[in-house]
């Protein structure tokens, strides 16, 4: 009889313990008061108690004690930063985020072929970033120029300064440059150094969005340089016309524009422009360092997003005439006589 009572009592105790464990698990790991995503900042020096009280006051957790219990199991520390707490997050999940420093991030996409001025405008549009992109005492970023930035996708903490993003992209281009310098390989003649490589790569980048064409376009310009021919690259004229912005915002490039007096006008000046006219990606750099082996001296748009290449001027004139006809068909109301 006593043994039977003991078994019943033991089962009762285990039952109560099981229920309590289930309640605790539900309270910590399942129950949530977060109905929609919310941002929460932890400043340097904040204590677990102060964070727990703020979470409780904002109704992000149902109890400050529950959060403190969860964070104690997680290691007893919270890391500073800006967090984005998702809807349905339990006290256990929130404690894990704070303990691991899983701060909110923002995805920054810097496309290839943009100028510094365009990139700065782009960064101003990211509301999750902080600060401006104008010059201050951060000289290494204030003095940044076209060709210094590596276009890529960057993930940074929400609230990161725009200047810090610029510096991150600058460092990646610096790493790319140093990696090439360590190979001790010479660039294709007549290029003499990194500035020449990036300058030509920037023209290639602006001429074609197709990575498959870049090596051919690079070969055209290298062939022209070797023959002492002017590059006659439209993007360099656009760069000059827009004071380095690089975008005419839909306005056509006219014949009269090709006469602009600027060191960047490759219709009037021999050789490369003095500096890059855009920021380039890996494909354009590789295209210049490893150009296609061609005898092409000319190219013109084919109307399908690519280009027609030719070795002689007569063929180029025919290809150009074909392109003008394509443009007229696409825009019959426009006058192309001056283009």
pLDDT in tens, 69-123: 889 888 888 988 888 888 988 888 888 889 988 888 899 999 999 999 999 999 9
3-state secondary structure at position 299: strand
255 within 8 A of 232, measured Cβ to Cβ: no
- Cα 134 from chain centre: 19
pLDDT at 137 over 90: no
3-state secondary structure at position 156: strand
What's the mean pLDDT in 282-296?
97
| pLDDT band for position 190 (cuts 50, 70, 90) | very high
90 within 8 A of 67, measured Cβ to Cβ: no
Top mean pLDDT of 28-32, 291-295, 329-333 is at 291-295
pLDDT: which is higher, 290 or 41? 290
Q: Tens digits of per-residue pLDDT, 224-246?
A: 999 999 999 999 999 999 999 99
pLDDT at 271 over 90: yes
- To the nearest whole number, what is the mean pLDDT of the chain? 87
Per the rule left: phi > 0, alpha: psi between -120 and 50, beta: everything else, 154 is beta
pLDDT of residue 259: 95
Q: Is the peptide bond before 190 cis (omega within 30 degrees of 0)?
A: yes
Question: Which residues does 277 contact at the CB level (< 8 Å), separation at least 6?
Answer: 115, 146, 199, 202, 203, 206, 235, 236, 239, 246, 264
pLDDT of residue 334: 54
CA dist 37 and 279 (Å) reads 36
CA dist 93 and 100 (Å) reads 11
pLDDT at 136 over 70: no
CA dist 133 and 165 (Å) reads 10
Q: Percent of the chain having pLDDT more than 70?
A: 86
CA dist 68 and 79 (Å) reads 14
Q: What is the pTM of this model?
A: 0.80
């Amino acid at each position: 009889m006593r043994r039977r009572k003991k078994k019943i009592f033991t089962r009762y105790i285990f039952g109560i313990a099981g229920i309590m464990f289930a309640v605790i698990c539900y309270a910590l790991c399942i129950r949530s008061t977060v109905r929609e995503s919310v941002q929460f900042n932890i400043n340097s020096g904040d204590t677990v108690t102060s964070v727990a009280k703020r979470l409780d006051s904002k109704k992000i957790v149902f109890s400050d004690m529950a959060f403190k219990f969860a964070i104690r199991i997680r290691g007893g520390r919270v890391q500073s930063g800006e967090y984005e707490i998702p809807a349905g997050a339990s006290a256990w999940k929130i404690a894990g985020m704070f303990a691991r420093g899983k701060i909110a991030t923002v995805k920054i996409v810097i496309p290839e072929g943009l100028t510094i001025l365009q990139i700065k405008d782009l960064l101003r549009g990211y509301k999750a970033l902080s600060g401006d992109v104008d010059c201050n005492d951060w000289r290494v970023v204030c003095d940044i120029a076209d060709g210094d930035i590596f276009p890529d996708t960057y993930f940074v903490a929400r609230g990161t300064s725009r200047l810090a993003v610029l510096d991150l992209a600058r460092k990646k281009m610096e790493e790319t440059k140093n990696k090439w310098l360590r190979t001790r390989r010479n660039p294709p003649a007549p290029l003499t150094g990194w500035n020449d490589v990036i300058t030509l790569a920037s023209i290639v980048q602006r001429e074609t969005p197709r990575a498959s064409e870049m090596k051919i376009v690079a070969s055209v310009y290298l062939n022209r340089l070797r023959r002492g021919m002017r590059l006659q690259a439209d993007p360099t004229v656009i760069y000059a016309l827009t004071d380095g912005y690089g975008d005419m915002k839909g306005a056509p490039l006219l014949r009269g524009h090709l006469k602009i007096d600027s060191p960047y006008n490759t219709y009037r000046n021999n050789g490369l422009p003095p500096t890059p006219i855009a920021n380039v990606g890996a494909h354009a750099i590789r295209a210049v360092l490893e150009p296609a082996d061609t005898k092409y001296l000319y190219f013109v748009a084919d109307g399908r997003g690519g280009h027609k290449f030719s070795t002689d001027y007569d063929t180029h004139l025919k290809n150009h005439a074909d392109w003008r006809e394509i443009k007229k068909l696409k825009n019959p109301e426009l006058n192309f006589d001056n283009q």
